[in-house]
Chain A
Amino acid sequence: MDVKNTAPFNSSEGEPNAQASLKQTADNKKEISKSDVGETDSSPVGGSRMGASFPGEVHNTPSGGVLVSKLDDVINWARSNSLWPLVFGTSCCAIEMMSTASAKYDWSRFGFEVARATPRQADVIIIAGTIVNKMAPVLKRLYDQMADPKYVIAMGACATSGGPFFYNTYSVVKGADHVIPVDVYIAGCPPRPEALLHALITLQKKIKSGTTREQIRMQKPEQNF
Chain B
Amino acid sequence: MTNEDLKIKLSELFPSATFEEGGQWINVNVDPKDWLFFAKQLRYNTDLNFDYLFCLTCIDWKTHLTVVYHLESTKYRHIIVVRSKLDRNQPEIETVSHIWRTADFHEREVYELFGVNFLNHPDLRLLILPDGWEGKFPLRKDFEDPVNMIKL
A133 contact set on B, CB distance < 8 A: 130
Q: How far is the CB of A134 from chain B (nearest CB, A)?
A: 6
Chain B positions 46-78 with a Cβ under 8 Å from a chain A Cβ: none
B138 touches A167 (CB 8 A): no
**Which of B136, B138, B147 is in CB contact (< 8 Å) with A174?**
B147
Q: Is A225 an interface residue (CB 8 A)?
A: no
Smallest CB gap from B147: residue in A: A174
Chain A interface (Cβ < 8 Å from any Cβ of B): 133-134, 162, 166-171, 174
Judged by a CB distance under 8 angstroms, whether B148 is at the interface is yes
- Complex CA gap A169/B145 in Å reads 6
Which residues in A have their C-beta under 8 angstroms from that of B8?
none
What's the minimum C-beta distance from A221 to chain B, rounded to whole angstroms? 34
Q: State the Cβ distance, A43 to closest chain B Cβ, in Å.
A: 55
Interface pair A168/B148, CB less than 8 Å apart? yes
Which residues of B are in contact with A by a Cβ distance under 8 Å? 128, 130, 136, 138, 143, 145, 147-150
- Could you tell me the distance in whole angstroms from the C-beta of B149 to the nearest C-beta in chain A? 6
State in angstroms the CA–CA spacing of A168 and B136 once bound together.
13
Inter-subunit contact B148/A170 (CB<8 Å): no
A167 and B130: CB pair below 8 A?
no
B143: chain A residues at CB < 8 Å are 170
Q: List 22 A-B contacts (CB under 8 A).
A: A133-B130, A134-B128, A134-B130, A162-B148, A166-B148, A167-B145, A167-B148, A167-B149, A167-B150, A168-B145, A168-B148, A168-B149, A168-B150, A169-B145, A169-B148, A170-B136, A170-B138, A170-B143, A170-B145, A171-B138, A174-B147, A174-B148
- Complex contacts, A168 vs chain B, CB 8 Å: 145, 148-150
Q: How far is the CB of A67 from chain B (nearest CB, A)?
A: 54
Smallest beta-carbon distance A25→chain B, Å: 41
Question: Which residues of the other chain, B, contact A162 by a CB distance below 8 angstroms?
Answer: 148
Q: Complex: how many Å from CA A174 to CA B150?
A: 15
Which residue of A is nearest B146, CB measured?
A170
